[in-house]
Amino acid sequence: MSALDDRLRSAADAVHQQMEHLSVPEPGVALLDTAGAGRAATGHRARPTRALVAFAAAVVVVLGASAVVGLARRGSHRGSAFSIAVLAATTQRQSVRMRITAIRPMTFELFPATKSPPGPPQIEISGDTGVYDFQRNVARREIQGGWGKSTELLIGTHVYVSLDPEIAASLPARLRNKRWFEMNGSTDSFTPLPFDPLAQLRQDPGTTSIQDLGTTQIGAETVHHYNATGPKTRGGSLDIYVDSNNRLNRLRFVLNFGAGLDGGMQMDFSDYGVRVNVTAPPADEVVPATDLPLVESAIANHIH
Amino acid sequence: MRYRGTLVAVQPGDFDVFFRSQYRSVTGLAYVLCGDVGRAEDLAQEAFAAADRSWPRISGYDDPGAWVRRVVANKATSLRRKRSSEARAFVRLNSRRAETETEMGIDDAALWSAVRALPRRQAQVVALTFLDGLDIPEVARVLTCGEATVKTHLHRAKLTLAARLGLDQQQEDR
């Protein structure tokens, strides 16, 4: 046995001993404690993070699709906690029904790239309901906002958005029978966003201090309640309710960004395993990609 | 207690068991390769989260532990390279890193620091061999390279380390 090997083995033992003091987060639910408990046990301060901002971006993605490209980009931060990521991943192993309700009205800029006066139109979003099958990558959601209601369909890589008949009526005659347009990234404004509302949570969960508040009832379900408090300057708070199978039952957050970006959101998850049937709209009802700029300006005019 | 026998097959659905049994050792691996406990936890968690996302596939591998170690070893050394080129000053001033090295003792800190200064593959081979207690074929499996390559890296790494630490590696090799 060489002296160097001895040194390396002894140093490795010291590392193992040090790791023994490391809290092993529970996969799934208990991983929510990773940030606080794990770091505390190893004597390191949990770093300030922007989890709630990332979370807001995730929810915003759910709500607005093309409408909120600007905000989603602003909220695109790097985070690190495994906890919520695992929870989100567990949740998505099955299809699920998701209802999203704005706790306070949320206002977003539509077509943030718009340069010409009066600038990007503002829209208010009150919520949406949808069914998602993340394994097959199909989903349908109905978005409810200040402008009315729209339906979005996800089929593989295709995202179709319903076109309000009133808006369609303002289009050139050849497009008036169209009921859908496809977000295909061919223009700046219609950048398709991930249809997956938990994508950001899985990849970008961030860390924050998380409190275990024990069990509570939501409807007939007994769920575990956690509260995450974000950086004080953001005034954010996130409540996470997890069912006995380590799946999300409810997420609720309130955010204080100022500048018209204040808001709150509740996401309710139900019907795990729900069958999601989505078919593409007939091709002759879809606005050709080359005409998307016309749709964009028609929507902007309608809202302004 | 030395971590051995980490490279075990797991049944699909055993992610929790897999995670609990491997988390500390994988974090330890990340730690010696990146030099920062907090960052090591992040790296380990990211790797496990990635494994969890693709668990049906990864659990079918002969060796899911090898997969996670490969991810962590590569990310930890990429981070180190990036840091060394872009943020030397920051790393020196990083108080968390200083805390860590105090905790682990100056001699050990110097040793791991010397390991981190090795070329990337050599550092990975040393960490997997001594920290995870893996043998040559196991290290080769984790790093998806040949056993002869592992032997060469290990030999060169030991020569360099011995020289840096003032030990006689000629004696070592006998």
ipTM of the complex: 0.79
Contact B53, A202 (CB under 8 A): yes
Q: Is A98 helix (H, G, I), strand (E, B) or coil?
A: strand
From chain B residues 119-148, the ones with a CB under 8 A of any chain A CB are 126, 129-131, 133
Closest of B118, B138, B116, B113 to residue B128, by C-alpha: B138
For the stretch A217-236, pLDDT in tens is 998 888 888 776 654 334 56
Is the model more confident about A43 or about A140? A140
B91 in A contact zone (CB under 8 Å): no
Interchain contact, B20 vs A43, CB within 8 Å: no
Q: How confident is the model at residue A262 (pLDDT cuts 50, 70, 90)?
A: low
Interchain contact, B131 vs A20, CB within 8 Å: no
H helix count then E strand count, chain A? 8, 12
Interchain contact, B49 vs A202, CB within 8 Å: yes
Contacts of A86 in chain B (CB under 8 A): 48-49, 52
Is the model more confident about B62 or about A118? B62
Q: Can you tell me the distance from the alpha carbon of A48 to that of A125, in angstroms, rounded to the nearest whole number?
A: 30
Mean pLDDT of A14-24: 83
Query: Regarding beta strands A180-183 and A286-287, do their DSSP bridges make them parallel or antiparallel, or are they unpaired?
Result: parallel
Q: How confident is the model at residue B23 (pLDDT cuts 50, 70, 90)?
A: confident
For the stretch A60-71, pLDDT in tens is 333 322 222 222
Give the number of A-B residue pairs with CB atoms closer than 8 Å.
125
Lowest mean pLDDT among A229-238, A268-277, B71-80: A229-238
Would you call A91 exposed, middle or buried from its count of C-beta atoms within 10 A (0-12, 13-18, 19+)?
Answer: buried
- Nearest chain B CA: its distance from A157 CA (Å): 19
Interchain contact, B25 vs A19, CB within 8 Å: yes
Write phi, then psi, for A4 (nearest 5 degrees). -65, -45
**Closest chain B residue to A27, measured at CA:** B16
Interchain contact, B28 vs A15, CB within 8 Å: yes
Mean pLDDT, rounded, of chain A: 65
Is the model more confident about A132 or about A149? A132
Contact A253, A264 (CB under 8 A): yes
